[in-house]
Amino acid sequence: MDTDTIAAISTPTGEGAIAIVRLSGDDAVSRANELFQGKDLTTVDSHTMHYGKLLDPETGEIAEEVMASVMRAPKTFTREDIVEINCHGGLVSVNRVLEIVLAQGARLAEPGEFTKRAFLNGRIDLSQAEAVMDLIRAKTDRAMNVALKQMDGRLSGLIQNLRQKLLETLAQVEVNIDYPEYDDVEEMTNDIMQEKTAEVRDEIENLLQTAKQGKILREGLATAIIGRPNVGKSSLMNTLVHENKAIVTEVPGTTRDVIEEYVNVRGVPLRLVDTAGIRETEDIVERIGVERSRQVLTEADLILLVLNYGDELTEEDVKLFEAARDMNMIVLLNKTDLEQNIDIERVKELAGDNPVISTSLIQEEGIDQLENAISSTFFEGEIDSGDMTYVSNVRHVQLLKQSKQALEDAREGMEMGVPIDVVQIDVTRTWELLGEIVGDTVGESLIDELFSQFCLGK
């Protein structure tokens, strides 16, 4: 295993009064010590911080005033020796420190390499490592809580319990087969297998039920604002952005041509889709044509359809209702400050089960009701106890679905009277699939792939 000393800036660039360059590896302390003028870092107690000066190894001159924290293995994030060099927060200063550390011989860490080492050294499991990544990208407090719980091992705990249950069942079956005490051992074994696999299946199903919400917390509720020109789409967009904290994100792979804006509505991250279109041309339907806008619509988790309270319904309004049929939709009757010309009964008819909210964006009325409607779309009437374990990771969802399928195959087999040792194969497979979530049974390439998605310095 690689235990060469790696280094990276581990605080966000350009923010805060101090910045940290972190070193991790077998010779992290001795390397830092060679550059450090102050106490002998190789002899200080673990988990202590020391003031000193950093020397430029090329010129021998003092380059920076720093505080160095020394943390010795194994009680560190990577389970290796770690030195964190705290310096002034400016970009110049922290880059200078990193340059010096690299010039001295440490290697620049790859994205996610610290976390990868924590995983490889058994400090955290894979789902916890993935939570570190989610935490970095979390868009709202709620999303952050989900990531924190996962990092804490909540999901891992649940998964390991299920695996344990399967393992015990397999063991029991094995014992029954090897040492049949009773005549009806076959029937008994089948019963145990039926019961336990059904239990595990149900628990997997419960976890999968949280996946939709988990995905939304992670990626945002893809929201499309549609409506005829001039009904108030841009105003709605601006209201949502200004009333709520806009979320700054750095999601890799976000394409430039589709500008997305994130806002936090009561802990639910809304991803306002194709807002560029709305802004530039004032009319998404006109600009991209009905076909393309249909596609935008089908990719959305939520449609906000804006109508003009002061106008009669038009053919185009009805078309938009049709385009958004079968989707999660909230209908806005905007401009209630104007004299009513819209046929509300007809709107309600067209809206079906979807909520219809009256707003006057110009007078800032109805916005609370709109936000209530948005957050109940997300929670679908459930009360959020704030204590849920959500599955939010696509990889986990895939593995859970496969696990569920394997258990259903097992059950089908049992019902058809397939011999128990064949059923065991499906159950063992489930155990392995669940193991991939926590990283017990994953290959090296997957590990590399996963960790390469991290930010530098984590």
Annotated binding site: 22, 84, 123, 230-235, 249-255, 274-277, 458
Q: Please report how close the Cβ of residue 264 comes to ligand GDP at its closest, in angstroms.
A: 21
Binding mask 317-336 for ligand GDP (x = CB under 6 A): -----------------xx-
DSSP conformation letters of 390-426:
----HHHHHHHHHHHHHHHHHHHHHHTT--HHHHHHH
Binding mask 259-298 for ligand GDP (x = CB under 6 A): -----------------------x----------------
DSSP 124: S
Q: Please report how close the Cβ of residue 367 comes to Zn ion at its closest, in angstroms.
A: 17
- Let me know: does 320 contact 307? Beta carbons within 8 Å: no
Binding mask 353-392 for ligand GDP (x = CB under 6 A): -------xxx------------------------------
Cβ closest to ligand GDP, residue 67 vs residue 362:
362
Which region, left, alpha or beta, applies to residue 121 given φ > 0 means left and ψ of -120 to 50 means alpha? alpha
Q: Which of 229, 289, 352, 419 binds ligand GDP (CB under 6 A)?
A: 229
Element at 350 (helix H, strand E): helix 344-351
Q: Which of 4, 202, 337, 382 binds ligand GDP (CB under 6 A)?
A: 337
Q: Using CB distances below 5 to 8 A depending on partner kind, what does residue 360 bind out of Zn ion, ligand GDP, none?
A: ligand GDP
- Contacts (CB under 6 A) with ligand GDP, residues 140-169: none
Question: Residue 137 corresponds to which tokens in the numbers above?
Answer: 């990208």
Distances (CA, A) of 205 to 257, 328, 380: 38, 23, 18
- Contacts (CB under 5 A) with Zn ion, residues 6-65: none
* CA diameter of the chain: 86
Cβ closest to Zn ion, residue 95 vs residue 234:
234
Q: Please report how close the Cβ of residue 396 comes to Zn ion at its closest, in angstroms.
A: 39
Which residue has its beta carbon closest to Zn ion? 234
- Let me know: does 84 contact 10? Beta carbons within 8 Å: yes
Q: Which residues contact 417 (CB under 8 A, 6 or more apart)?
A: none
* Residue 435 binds to ligand GDP (criterion: CB under 6 A): no
Which region, left, alpha or beta, applies to residue 361 given φ > 0 means left and ψ of -120 to 50 means alpha? alpha
* Sheet with 107-108, edge to edge strand ranges: 36-38, 48-55, 62-71, 82-88, 18-24, 6-9, 107-108
* Residue 191 binds to Zn ion (criterion: CB under 5 A): no
**HSE (side-chain half, CA atoms, 13 Å) at 321:** 20
* Residue 369 binds to Zn ion (criterion: CB under 5 A): no
Stretch that binds ligand GDP, among 80-88, 136-144, 192-200, 227-235 (CB under 6 A): 227-235
Question: Residue 330 corresponds to which tokens in the numbers above?
Answer: 């909230």
Cβ closest to Zn ion, residue 73 vs residue 225:
225
Measured in residues, the chain has a length of 458
Residues flagged as binding site for K(+): 230, 249, 251, 254
Cβ closest to Zn ion, residue 117 vs residue 233:
233
Q: For residues 325 and 333, what is the distance between their CA atoms, to the nearest angstrom?
A: 18
Q: Please report how close the Cβ of residue 363 comes to ligand GDP at its closest, in angstroms.
A: 6
Instruction: Tell me, by CB under 6 A, how many residues bind ligand GDP.
Output: 16
User: Which amino acid makes up residue 66?
Assistant: V
Q: Using CB distances below 5 to 8 A depending on partner kind, what does residue 160 bind out of Zn ion, ligand GDP, none?
A: none
Q: Please report how close the Cβ of residue 292 comes to ligand GDP at its closest, in angstroms.
A: 18
User: How many Å separate Cα 358 from the centre of its chain?
Assistant: 34
Q: Which residues contact 158 (CB under 8 A, 6 or more apart)?
A: 203, 207, 389
* Residue 282 binds to Zn ion (criterion: CB under 5 A): yes
* Residue 241 binds to ligand GDP (criterion: CB under 6 A): no
Closest by CA to 350, choosing from 317, 309, 303, is: 317
* Residue 234 binds to Zn ion (criterion: CB under 5 A): yes
Cβ closest to ligand GDP, residue 212 vs residue 279:
279
Cβ closest to ligand GDP, residue 233 vs residue 396:
233
* Sheet with 268-272, edge to edge strand ranges: 246-247, 261-265, 268-272, 221-227, 302-308, 329-334, 356-359
Q: Using CB distances below 5 to 8 A depending on partner kind, what does residue 86 bind out of Zn ion, ligand GDP, none?
A: none
Q: Which of 235, 244, 392, 424 binds ligand GDP (CB under 6 A)?
A: 235
Q: Which residues bind Zn ion (CB under 5 A)?
A: 233-234, 282
Q: Which residues bind ligand GDP (CB under 6 A)?
A: 227, 229-235, 282, 334-335, 337-338, 360-362
